Amino acid sequence: MSARELGSGCCEGGTLESTGLMETDAFPPAERFESGEPLESREPSEPPQSDEDGVDLTLLRWMLSLTPAGRLEVLQQHVDAVEAIRGAS
């Protein structure tokens, strides 16, 4: 990544390098947000994230994608984390 000048009107007289900002995908040029495209767009065909009872389907499907050993590891890590927090307080 190389330092690039921002242009007039922004951090006048400064460069990306001097402002501490580097142009990356995380910090796109301002013109990318001027297209009028909504910040959030959702295709109508995308599956819902929760069901009618509020069950988080994304979490459920993630757990189902793991092996039984993987699921046990998730549980163990969760319990370990809680026990660590309890021990620290």
Partner 1 sequence: MDFRRILSALVEAQVDFVVIGGVGAVLQGVPTTTFDLDIVPSRSLENRRKLFEVLEALEACYRQHLPRKLLPTVEDLSSDGHMLLMTRAGPLDVLGRVAGGLEYTDLVPRSRWMELGEGLRIRVLDLAAIIEIKERTGREKDLAQLPLLRRALRER
Residues in touch with partner 1 (CB under 8 A): 51, 53-57, 59-64, 66-69, 71-72, 74-76, 78-80, 82-83
Q: Can you tell me the distance from the alpha carbon of 60 to that of 14, in angstroms, rounded to the nearest whole number? A: 49
Q: CB-wise, 13 or 54, nearer to partner 1?
A: 54
Q: With contact defined as beta carbons under 8 Å apart, do 57 and 48 qualify? A: yes
Q: Can you tell me the distance from the alpha carbon of 70 to that of 78, in angstroms, rounded to the nearest whole number? A: 12
Q: CB-wise, 17 or 83, nearer to partner 1?
A: 83
- In angstroms, give the least distance from the CB of 86 to partner 1: 11
Q: With contact defined as beta carbons under 8 Å apart, do 58 and 46 qualify? A: no
Q: CB-wise, 37 or 53, nearer to partner 1?
A: 53
